[in-house]
Structure 1
Amino acid sequence: MNQRKDTYRAALQRGPDAAVPRPVKVAQLYTRYVRVTIELDTDLPRDLMRWVGSPVSALGRAGAAALRPLRNAS
């Protein structure tokens, strides 16, 4: 039990794996006067779903709960 607690505490102190480089897609655009390099994070859709998923589902549940009395009143 103590070893599990110690492992858990050590993991909390480490935080996220910031040392691991994230995969990136690079798109380059060259014109006569402008050179643009765009780096796209390939993990962005997964991160957005993780950040936005729970607030959106909570909003959906709240909306359904608010509309339920209106449907029952008809």
Structure 2
Amino acid sequence: MAECRPLGFLIGLPFALIALVLAVLGAVVWILGSIFSCICPCCFCCSALANLAMKIIQLPVKVIRWFTDQIPC
């Protein structure tokens, strides 16, 4: 717990909540993109959309880590 920076966590929490909403939307887009790419494998845009959605789903964790890294010890 030497790397624990509670101030960075508290400052980043509102932004992480916004990113969490985007992650839920990203999950919906990922599900739809996966379904469309299974139905029509020739649609490369659907698989690219699903990959983008996976990056959006990981966004809340990245936001919290970025904010905690910005606060000095």
TM category, shorter? 0.3 to 0.5
Q: TM-score, normalised by structure 2?
A: 0.36
Greater share of residues in strand: 1
Q: Which has the higher contact order (CA 8 A, sep 6+)?
A: 2
Q: TM-score, normalised by structure 1?
A: 0.36
Greater share of residues in helix: 2
